[in-house]
Amino acid sequence: MQILKPVGYVHLHVHSSYSLLEGALKIGDLVKAACADRQPALALTDTNNLFGALEFSEKAAGSGLQPIAGMQLSVAFEAPEAGAKLNAVHPHIVLLAKDETGYGHLLRLASRAYFDNEIGESPRVSAQALAECSGGLIALTGGMGGPLDTALRAGRTELALARLEALKTAFGEDGLYVEVQRHGLSDERMVEGELIRLADKHGLSLVATNEPYFAKPEDYEAHDALLAVAEGRLVSDDKRRRLTPRHAFKTRAEMADLFRDLPDALQATVEIAMRCACRARTRKPILPSFGAPSLTTPAQGTPEGAAQQALAAAATTAVAKDIAPDEAAELRRQAEEGLTERLRQHGPAEGLTEKDYRDRLEYEIRVITNMKFPGYFLIVSDFIKWAKEHDIPVGPGRGSGAGSLVAWSLLITDLDPIRFGLLFERFLNPERVSMPDFDIDFCVEGRERVIRYVQERYGEAQVGQIITFGTLLARGVLRDVGRVLEMPYGQVDKLTKLVPQNPANPVTLAQAIEGEPKLQSAIEEEPVVARLMSIAKKLEGLHRHASTHAAGVVIGDRPLEELVPLYRDPKTGMRVTQFNMKWVEQAGLVKFDFLGLKTLTVLRAATDLLKLRGIEVDLPSLPIDDERTYERLRKGETVGVFQVESAGMRKALVEMCADRFEDIIALVALYRPGPMANIPVYCERKLGRDAGNEKNWYPHEKLEPILAETFGIIVYQEQVMEVAKVLAGYSLGDADLLRRAMGKKIKAEMDAQRDRFVKGAVEHGLDKAKANEIFDLLAKFADYGFNKSHAAAYALITYQTAYLKANYPVEFMAASMSLDIDNTDKLAELRQDAQRLGTKVEPPNVNRSGVTFEVHDGAIRYALAAIKGVGRAAVEAIVQARGDRPFRDLGDFARRLNPKLVNKRTLENLVAAGALDAIEPDRAKAFAAVEPMMRLAQGAAEAETVGMMDMFGGVAAAEVSLRIPPYEPWPMADRLKREYDAVGFFLSGHPLDEYGDLLQKLRVQTWAEFCRSVRAGTSSVGRVAASVLDRAERRTKTGNKLGIVTLSDQTGHFEAIIFSEGLSHYRDLLEPGAALVLQLQASTEGEDVRARIQTCEPLDQAASRHQKGMRIYLRDERPISSVQQRLQVRGEGEVSLILILDGGEREVEVKLGGKYQATPQIAGALRAVPGVVQVEVS
């Protein structure tokens, strides 16, 4: 056999994992594979996108590999046929950028593939759009899915010729290559000869490609499963898309051997690579021009013109090169005027003068201007001012930006940085040039409006959001692969739950297997599990889908598609960059974070409710020393209060006896792993338990002014910076570099900083040993010190929510419930807290309730939209139909419904929740009327359509009366169960209500009583009667099972745990709906009580020992058979039937033979039997 010398080869048609659910090659692995084979260049051609273009370019170039920018692009060569599907498959070609013009056209085509089509249509460009953007590009005909191959396989040679001519016209003979692939497929062999003849006839060159989707042939099985996941089909499905093991990434030698008969096609790959001298590159930040209308130059000679020219002249000396003097002058004007207004409203901080503020402002303006950022500050200020002017709540600040006095003056932040000791250099360091980064919180309901304003302000083409990619994480990939492998759901679910779930730091499958013996055993014992894990591990970490980042917005100085490729958000239609957060900034676009903060919406809703009572609350002007607010905080009464709802936070608030704003700031900063250990020290020192030892709090006497606020504890990063300034002579800019170096823990940097710090400290009078000691202390705290600017800004939101809850609890709780209207668990918690505060929560009522929670006469009216399965549109229609005329009865209600918006399920849930009690108290009757009501509503709607009117001008319903079929009454337990299912908790009563005085006989406590005794320390064990709402089980670290039981009594919901032994003994009793007597043992954690179940028994069983008889009153004998069905034998009670005769004048008592259970629950079921007048339990 002749051994051929390998010729050069370059991969020009390659898919990475950015070909979503299609490519299984991560870019890093792709680059490594090419470098391992010493390939000189490599193209990336993902399907209809450039998602990975910049990442690939940087990683390839960084590895000494020439990156070629490219894309596999779908093209609609012919007009769509009538009735064609929106997501029809179109042939694709491969485009490679030769030069900057070509790369610009790639960006444009990648964007047009999404924006030239309707939302929901598959991405593609027209042949005309392709021709318009063909300059600077090389085109390959696309292989198997290309325009030539698909036409030839269909026997349509003329169509193939027409498409070839279109491509040849667009790209020319030297810019178009006929692509030949050999993956061993019969379809490839069928057309290869014709492709070669077409190329020769039309003077075109052949090019050989491999089109890899995965790294090695042994990865084929995993990739095949990935394709099945993408299509939602099974691996065993013969009708789905399949590739071959030969779609792996081949070496140069393998390609030389495969195409030994077409050496020119191999050589063409090298020639193309040599012609492609362009790649995606990073850029320095490109700021858009602010371009405010106020910056237009007034006519010369006018007073306005003279004033503006003077202002500009005053700023010119501070203007750095390349900064428009008008932007610098405008920044100065707005900042100075803004500071004047701020000081007029709030005055300087204690002990300071206006001059102190003016000096700081001048310093900041100078730094901002020299660093070329006036436009950035003006842009942010502009959209924040617009939001505030349009009544959209904006957060007081977030991140280090709250440390800027210019930001405060421009209304970007609402916290005086001088008053709270916040540092500008923590935000913008003159010693380290980097982009400022304001993170802005907006009300969730107004955020989109602000983004739309920015689009209008700078032009839609110049504003976009940022893409983000979901990945196949351990749990998700197990479920996906298990499904396509047809494994039983229960088996996959069981395996998946053995993988720890930690969204903040996701566990990999390898880590999960290493740490879970049961997974190891399953892999060893079951081949199907071993196969599942093998495939899942290969797919783990691949990109699964694209979505829009929750916060990031970019503003360009030109249309975005000239800088980055664009994608269209399928939900909003918004422009979204195809580069993610990391790479879009490296492409030169400046990111602005528009975050949605629900708490701001709660604050807004609460103040709007207060306005209805004529009470105006201006949140930014609240006094921060309200005693009632701190009283609530000290008691840990913080359900619904921003950031401090958790048990640990409440405990800390109680322990530190929070009574000043600085305590809230410190708690926000300290309540994290690491710093949390300092909370007890903070509390001891604050409360005087360490009195007389104050001198030892401070490492040096010079540090007392810096650390006094936190009682000698280094809590904030700003304190680290201040210490370096005071002890070692650092500028604050250099001190910020020190802080960063300490946080990174890079030895070389730390050593250099230690030398400088010690030298400076010695020069300032410290001995060397003390200097080293303090440096070590700073290094320890710098590692987890918190940004005080962020802590202070968020502490202000905490205070505002606490203030409203303390002073206006009804409106605050109603607003909080409205914002959590879809979160049943949170609603239950808020409702319970409202009750604890003495606030009545009225049940839902179609004649009184609104869409959201409302306040009336000091009570909260339950929102109709909070009922499960109802839907906001249906509720809005009901409230609109009600208007000012309450519904009279079920018929009137039905006639005024819109049957297009209100369906059967809506009515059933309204009935179950008790929302129709006002017009029909018998819920069983109302439930039976649901279908007749729907028919009546439909008839009324049809009558309205044809114009039938009654004599009073209303719609004449086709069906005048509501005919309700026979129905079985609901026992109280059934009624409450349905209510719980519809609302998420009990509103009109509780299952334990039926037990009445019996609970006292059983000597049980309510949950609230038990908690009080536990907190008081008088008891840690007690008996509580409760209904089981839910039970969950999980494994402990030791492998034992732990039960977590959710329970309820009339005083609220609570959780209790039960250990493995008790769980196996009582599992059958701990079922949802069961009423039990529980023996609990409890301890406190802050204000929270943690309970453990020791024993339990059915409440009816306990009740039967105390109730010995039951008397059932009947009007006649008809209910007797129904009564007998509901009575249970094997009890200890006697039962008598009392027949009421002669209109109540006479009674006949009949004692039943045998003994029966005589419990409140059975009595409740008997009361629901038609014909039963009363049931007495003795």
Nearest partner of 268 among 5, 4, 61, 7, judged by Cα? 7
Compute how many other C-beta atoms are within 10 angstroms of the C-beta atom of residue 465: 21
Of the candidate CATH numbers 3.20.20.140, 3.40.50.720, 3.30.450.40, 3.30.70.360, the domain formed by 27-76+89-212+249-275 belongs to 3.20.20.140
Question: Are 245 and 255 contacting, i.e. CB atoms less than 8 angstroms apart?
Answer: no
Amino acid at the residue 442: F
Contacts of 618 (CB under 8 A, 6+ apart): none
Q: Identify residue 802 by its one-letter amino acid code.
A: A
- What CATH number has the domain spanning 991-1103? 2.40.50.140
Angle formed by the axes of helices 354-370 and 374-389, nearest 10°: 120
Full-model pTM = 0.83
Q: What is the DSSP letter of 621?
A: G
Angle, CA 836 vertex, CA 832 and CA 838 arms, to 5°: 115
Q: What would the 3-class secondary structure string for 250-273 be?
A: CCHHHHHHHCCCCHHHHHHHHHHH
Say if strands 590-597 and 439-443 run parallel, antiparallel, or are unpaired.
parallel
pLDDT on residue 1035 = 76
Our CA angle for 228, 230, 232, nearest 5°, is: 65
Per the DSSP assignment, residues forming a β-bridge with 1110 are 1135, 1177
Q: Are 410 and 335 in contact (CB under 8 A)?
A: yes
Contacts of 39 (CB under 8 A, 6+ apart): 9, 10, 11, 65, 252
1046 contacts 1107 by C-beta, under 8 angstroms: no
Closest of 792, 816, 795, 793 to residue 804, by C-alpha:
816
**How far are the Cα atoms of 1138, 1139, 1140 from residue 1146, in angstroms, in the given order?**
10, 8, 6
CA-to-CA separations, 1124 to 1105, 1166, 1172, 1176, in angstroms, rounded:
22, 9, 12, 16
Smallest CA-to-CA distance from 666 within 713, 736, 626 is with 713
Enter the tokens of residue 581. 């957060």
Q: 852 vs 402, 813, 814, 857, 863, CA distance in Å?
A: 34, 12, 9, 16, 4
**Angstrom distances, CA of residue 732 to CA of 432, 593, 840:** 11, 26, 54
Closest CA to 954 of 1045, 848, 900, 883: 883
CB 287 within 8 A of CB 35: no
pLDDT at 311: 34
CA dist 640 and 770 (Å) reads 46
β-pairing, 1109-1114 with 1129-1141? parallel
Provide the Cα torsion 608, 609, 613, 618; round to 10°.
-40
DSSP string, 84-131: --TT----EEEEEE-SHHHHHHHHHHHHHHHHTS-TTSPP-EEHHHHH
Both tokens assigned to 223? 């990739």
Inter-residue contact 71 to 94 (CB < 8 Å): yes
Residue 1114 phi, psi dihedral angles, 5° rounding: -125, 150
| Contacts of 440 by beta carbon, 8 Å cutoff, 6+ apart | 380, 384, 394, 395, 398, 412, 592, 593, 594, 595
Q: What 3-state DSSP class applies to 568? A: strand
Give, in order, the Cα–Cα distances in Å from 549 to each of 288, 575, 579, 858. 21, 12, 11, 41
DSSP string, 1004-1028: -B-HHHHHHHHHHTS-SEEEEEEEE
CA distance 718 to 724: 10
Bridge-based pairing of strands 859-861 and 1021-1035 is unpaired
CA dist 906 and 877 (Å) reads 12
Mean pLDDT by 10 residues, the chain (1178 residues): 57 98 96 96 97 97 96 90 63 97 97 92 94 97 96 94 96 96 95 95 96 97 97 93 96 96 96 94 88 41 37 35 72 97 94 96 96 94 97 94 97 96 92 85 94 94 95 95 94 90 86 90 94 96 93 93 95 93 94 94 96 94 95 94 91 93 95 90 89 83 93 92 93 89 82 92 92 89 85 96 97 96 90 90 95 95 95 94 94 93 94 95 94 92 70 49 86 89 90 82 87 84 90 80 90 89 90 90 81 90 72 73 68 64 64 69 73 72
Helical pair 661-670 and 788-807, crossing angle rounded to 10 deg: 120
- Do 991-1103 and 467-598 have the same topology in CATH? no
The DSSP element (H or E) to which 860 belongs, if any, is strand 859-861
Query: C-alpha distances in angstroms, 839 versus 567, 811, 860, 1009?
Result: 49, 10, 7, 19
Strand pairing report for 41-44 and 66-76:
parallel
58: three-class secondary structure by DSSP: helix
- Measured distance CA(713)–CA(780) in Å, rounded: 12
CA angle at 132 for the pair 126 and 135, rounded to the nearest 5°: 125
| Number of helical H runs and strand E runs in the chain | 47, 26
Match 């959001």 to its residue by tokens: 465
Residue 7, helix vs strand vs coil: coil
Q: Is 810 helix (H, G, I), strand (E, B) or coil?
A: helix
Using CA atoms, how far residue 80 sits from 75, 76, 121, 161, 300, in Å, is: 12, 8, 12, 19, 60
The upper half-sphere exposure of residue 404, i.e. CA atoms within 13 Å in the direction of its Cβ, equals 27
In CATH, the number for domain 1107-1177 is 3.30.70
Pairwise CA distance, residues 1028 & 1069, whole Å: 9
Q: Report the C-alpha gap between 1067 and 1048 in whole angstroms.
A: 18
Token pair, residue 68, equals 């070629």
Q: Within 10 A of 91 (CB to CB), how many other CB atoms are there?
A: 22
- Domain residue spans in the chain? 27-76+89-212+249-275, 293-451, 467-598, 604-801, 808-983, 991-1103, 1107-1177
Closest CA to 1005 of 1085, 1080, 1075, 1070: 1080
Superfamily of domain 467-598: Bacterial DNA polymerase III alpha subunit, thumb domain (1.10.10.1600)
Q: Answer for the pair 1158, 1107: CB distance below 8 angstroms, yes or no.
A: yes
